[in-house]
Chains A and B, each alone.
Chain A
Amino acid sequence: MRPDGSPSSLREALAVGWRELALYVAVGVVYVAIGVAAPEFLFTWPVAAGYLVLCVVVLPFAVRRVRTLGRR
């Protein structure tokens, strides 16, 4: 780990966060696909930020919640 808090190498970063990176890439690919089909989706930052938060934070949280409830 470097003094600024970032990993010392890309390998180290991927070892810790490859799942997170894969999620962001997948979400990005879907965003690009929607954007190409309907460019209005690309117009504003709030739409992109909302979409990202929905896909990266809210949906995984909801899935985890549903799974936990399913186990009970």
Chain B
Amino acid sequence: MSWAAHDLEPYVIQKHLGKKVAFVPLLIGSYAPDLMSKWFVYGVTLVGVELKADVPAQFHRGWPGAGFTHSLTFGVLVGLLIYLVGRNKVVAYSFVIGQWAHAITDTGDTVGSMLLFPFTDHLFSVGAWAYAGQTGRYVDAGAYFSGLGFVWDGIFVVWAILSWRVLTRGYFRTTVMAADPFWRWAGRYVSETMLVALYRASFFYGVARWTAWLIWAHVVRSFAFDLRWGGPRWVPRVFADDLNAAGAAPAACRCPGCCSMTPRLGFYGMVAVCAFAKGRTSSVRDLIRNAPRARSRSRRRRLRRPLKRE
């Protein structure tokens, strides 16, 4: 799980896609997988009764459980539902982009997510930082901000700050409001200052929370840093293999997804993706841009027409 990345990803995506996405569905999509499941992972007490999942990791990410909310199919289905209700393509696929960002980001921990559910309930995991949701919110926070998880969130903090243009009032007025019907509707009832504050709220929450938890974990409490792959190792960790292998032997999963997710390959992959996203590998980007594309049927027909006339 990620603590601040899900708050900040929508701003980074907004920066890159501009008017092609609607911010509110993008943000809701980014929060959606955990909205329905995380409270039950940590547990809540209602009228003296504690409600908590028996196997939190299984409930959060696995099947049976609410792990389907972290699959790519869930995003597509909810996106289709949104499209059927609202008939707005931009709103629908903005939700899908946000939900996919969440599901893919969560593959970073040792449990991962069921990306291809319902085709398989296999958990795809890079295993960069420990999943410790079963230990409760405070120990989980201490573990997350002591391993590579906080580095991952830190990348998004820096990336979101570098995307500062999307936070300006002019950008909000010209780009965000133009693409998202929610802000135009809300603008009829509240002032622009209020709308801008609400628009910036997730950025504020992500950056401030990342800073506060980091200080809390290492100044107020003395959790030890352990930046090894899959760390920190002082916390009881849950692994994808524990859940993947729950219904099948052998214990270690041998599927191509797991076999390819060795730490080194995962690291190289992440670096390549980050470099590509930032446009540093222009040669790869140009290669893809200039690659010959398959002609669509309509285009082929169009090309044939002048020949027939002749």
Contacts and interface: CB of A to CB of B under 8 A. Distances in A.
A57 to B, nearest CB: 5
A1 interface: yes
A28 B198 CA distance: 14
A4 B201 contact: no
B202 A5 contact: no
Contacts of A53: 194, 197-198, 201
A10 B164 CA distance: 9
Interface of B: 7, 18-19, 31, 137-138, 141, 164-166, 168-175, 191, 193-194, 197-198, 200-202, 204-205, 207-209, 211-213, 215-216, 219-220
B166 A6 contact: yes
Decide if the interface of chain A is mainly helix, strand, loop or mixed.
helix
Interface in A1-37: 1-7, 10, 13, 17, 24, 27-28, 31-32, 35-36
B142 to A, nearest CB: 10
16 contacts: A1-B170, A4-B165, A5-B173, A6-B166, A7-B170, A10-B164, A31-B208, A32-B208, A35-B209, A35-B212, A35-B213, A39-B212, A42-B212, A42-B213, A49-B201, A52-B197
B180 to A, nearest CB: 14
Contacts of A7: 165, 168, 170
A1 B174 CA distance: 11
Contacts, number: 92
Contacts of B171: 4-6
Interface residues of A, number: 27
Given A4-B175, A36-B216, A45 B200 contact: no
Contacts of B197: 52-53, 56-57
A35 B165 contact: no
B201 A52 contact: yes
Contacts of B215: 32, 36
A24 B201 CA distance: 10
Contact of B209 (A10, A17, A42): A42
Contact of B165 (A6, A42, A52): A6
A46 to B, nearest CB: 9
Contacts of A2: 165
B141 A39 contact: yes
Contact of B168 (A3, A5, A27, A28): A5
Given A4-B171, A53-B198, A36 B204 contact: no
B204 A28 contact: yes
Interface in A23-72: 24, 27-28, 31-32, 35-36, 39, 42-43, 45, 48-49, 52-53, 56-57
